[in-house]
Structure 1
Amino acid sequence: MTKQPLIISTDPGIDDIAAMTISLFASEFDVKMLVPTWGNVALEYTLQNTLNLEEFLHTKVPVVAGANQPLVAPMISAASVHGKTGVAGYDFPEANEQLLVPGLAATLMHNAIMDSPKKVTLLGIGPLTDFALLIKQYPNVVENIAQIVIMGGNIGRGNHSPLAEYNIAGDPEAAQVVFHSGVEIKVAPLEIGNKTHITPQQMEEIKNCGEVGKMLYGLFSHIKEPDGDPRIKIFDPTAVALILCPEAFVIKKARVEIELAGRFTYGASVIDFMSGQPNAEVAVDVDLEKFSRWFTNSINQADQGIK
C-alpha cells in the first residue's frame, strides 16, 4: 500500500495531541512534517508540546516552528480550556530540539510538497496561518496538494463567539485564503466535534489502551469546556477520521466564505449548501458508533506502535 504523504499544522492543545498521535501511527499515512503554530496557546508552548509528544511516542518526524501570531487579527487564547501550557493533565518527558528543523515553515512545507512524488495532504487542526502563508508565498504549490482537511468552522453557533468557531476565529483572513485556494477541501466543523463526545464508558476503554491510552485519559480528564458541558468533546481527531474513516460521516458540498468585516460576526464561517459554486465538502453528521470504534482502535494501534 502506498502511504499518503501528510503535513500537519497543529496548536497542541489536548485534542491536537490525540489527532497527532493517531496520525503518526496510522498505516495509511507518511507524516512528513509537524508544524506547530500559535493557537490554543502561544507558539513557545505548542512547539515544546509537539517535541515532547514525539519524545513520548519515540517518533522522529521533523518539526518546523510555524507562525507565532495571526496574519491580521489580535491573538486569542484557549488556555482556560487546555491549561496554561496547552496540555494540562499529563507530564510529558521534556524533549530537546533534536527534531526541530530551522527555517521558515512556508518554505520548508513548499520544498517538501514539491519534492514529493505523490500529492501531499495538508491537515489543519489549528488556525490556518501557516497554510495561508504557504499558498500566498508559493502559489504554484497547490498543483501538488491533494487536499486540505480542516477541523474548523461552524454551521450554526460558534464556540469562540456566538457565530465563530475558535480555529477560524483565530485567523479569519488566513482561513479565507485557504478556502479560495482552489484546492480540494474537506471540513469537520464544530458540530461534528460536539457530537463525537466521549462517554464515561469510553473513557475507561481509552484508559485501558496501554501507555498511550493512559496519556490521553489524563489529558481528556482535564478538559474544561467553556459552556460547562460535562461531556468530553474531541474535535481535532474528527478531521483525521474524515480521511481515514469517511464512512462514518455524511458529507455535503458547500460554498464556504469567512466573514471579515462584521462587527459582531468577524470570523464566522458562512457555509452555503445551496451554492452552485462549492469550494469544500463539509461533514454534516457522524455515525457515533463507527467513529468511536475507529477512535479506540486507532489509540490501540498507536500504543502498539510505540512498543
Structure 2
Amino acid sequence: MTKEPIILDMDPGIDDAVALSIALTHSEFDLKLLTGVAGNVSVDKTTANLIKLVEFFNRTDIPVAKGAAAPLKKAFKDASYIHGASGMPGYDFPEPVYQPLAQDAISAMAEVLSNASEPITIVATGAYTNIALLLQQYPKLKSKIKRFVLMGGSLSGGNVSSVAEFNIFTDPDAAKIVFESGVDITMIGLDVTLKALLSNQTIADVASMGTVGKMISGVMTAYNDVEATGKPMHDVNTILYLLHPEFFTLKDFMVYVITDGPAIGGTIADTQDRWSNGQLNAHVAIDIDAKAFENWFIEEIPKMNAYRG
C-alpha cells in the first residue's frame, strides 16, 4: 500500500491533539514533519504538545519543528479560554524529553519539500502563518506541494465573530496569501465541523477504551467548545477527509479572505460570480455524513490502542 506523504502544521489544542493521534497511528500516512504554530496557545506550548503526543505514541521517528510565534501583522490572541492554559489539559502527560529540530518550521518544511520525490500534502489545522511564510520565502517550492487541506473558514457564520472562524481570524493576512497561492486547496470549515459532533455519551464511552481512549476522553472532556448536542472535533475532519472523502460534500468556490474592518477573518465565497470571472480557488466542504463521522471515530480508538501496544 502506498502511503500519502504529509506535513502536519498544527496548534494543539485539543481537537488538533485528537487529529494528530489518529494521523500518528494510521497506516495510510507517511508523516514527514510536524510543525507548531501560535494559535490555540503560544507556539512554545503547541510545539511541546506535539512532542507529548509523539512520545505518547512512540513516534519519535517524526521530526518536530517550532514555527511562528505571532501572526504576520495582527496582534496574537490565543484561545486558552477554550483549550486551557497548556492547550491540552485533561490528561497527565509526562514532561517531554524529545527535542524539536534546531531549525525553524519554515526552513524544515522547505527542506522536506526539496528532498521529496513526489509532491507532499500539507495539512494545516491552526493559523496559516507557517505555510504563508513558506510560500513567501520559498516560492520555487510551490510545485512540490500537492495540496493544502485546511481546517478553517466558514461560509455560514463564524465562531469568534459573526463571520470569522478562529484559524482565519488569528492570522487573516496569512490566510489571504494561502488562498491566493494557486495551490490546490480543500477548505474544511465550520460549515461541516459544527455538524460532526461527538456526543457526551460517546466521549464518556471512549474513556473505557484502553489507554488511548482514556487520554482522548480526558482531553475532550476538558474541551470548552460545546454545542447543544455534543462537542465538535474541528481538526479531526481534515484527517477524516484524507481517509474518507466520500463522507463529505464539496463545492468549488472563489474564496476571498477579509483582512481588516468588522468582518476581519471572514471567508467570503463569490457564489454569484460577481467578482471572480469564473475563477475558483478552493474545494469547500459544505456538508458531511455526521453519523459516519462518529462511527468512524469510535472505530479508530481500538486501532490506536493496538498501534501503541
TM over 0.5: yes
Q: TM-score range by the shorter chain?
A: over 0.9
Where in structure 1 are there 5+ consecutive unaligned residues? none
- Residue in 2 that maps onto 1:259: 258
**1:144 positional shift:** 1.1
Q: Does 1:41 align with 2:49?
A: no
Percent sequence identity over matched residues? 36
Q: Is 1:14–1:82's contact at 8 Å kept on the other side of the alignment? A: yes
1:105-164 residue CA offsets vs partner (Å, 9 max, x unmatched): 111101101211121000000000000000110111111111100000011211111110
Query: Structure 1 residues 125 and 280 mapped into 2: Cα distance closer, same or farther (>3 Å)?
Result: same
Q: Does 1:286 align with 2:285?
A: no
- Residue in 2 that maps onto 1:201: 201
- Higher deviation after alignment, 265-274 or 87-96: 265-274
Query: Structure 1 residues 108 and 151 mapped into 2: Cα distance closer, same or farther (>3 Å)?
Result: same
Q: Which amino acid aligns with 1:277?
A: Q
**1:230 positional shift:** 6.2
**1:200 positional shift:** 2.8
- Residue in 2 that maps onto 1:222: 222
Name the SS for the 1:85 alignment partner.
Answer: coil
* Aligned residue runs from structure 1 range 139-288, under 5 A: 139-225=139-225, 229=228, 231-261=230-260, 263-275=261-273, 276-288=278-290
- Residue in 1 that maps onto 2:95: 94
- The size of the alignment, in residue pairs, is 304
- Residue in 2 that maps onto 1:67: 68
Q: Is 1:253–1:273's contact at 8 Å kept on the other side of the alignment? A: no
**1:71 positional shift:** 0.3
- Residue in 2 that maps onto 1:304: 306
Q: Does 1:57 align with 2:57?
A: yes
**1:190 positional shift:** 1.1
Q: Is 2:83–2:222's contact at 8 Å kept on the other side of the alignment? A: yes
CA distance in 1, matches of 2:292, 2:197: 13
TM-score of the pair, normalised by structure 2? 0.95
CA distance in 2, matches of 1:74, 1:283: 29
Q: Is 2:25–2:57's contact at 8 Å kept on the other side of the alignment? A: no
Q: Which runs of 4+ in 1 moved over 4 A?
A: 227-230
Name the SS for the 2:5 alignment partner.
Answer: strand
- Higher deviation after alignment, 128-137 or 41-50: 41-50
1:25-55 residue CA offsets vs partner (Å, 9 max, x unmatched): 1111100111011100111211111111111
Q: Which amino acid aligns with 1:96?
A: V
CA distance in 2, matches of 1:19, 1:55: 15
**1:201 positional shift:** 3.2
Q: Which amino acid aligns with 2:300?
A: S
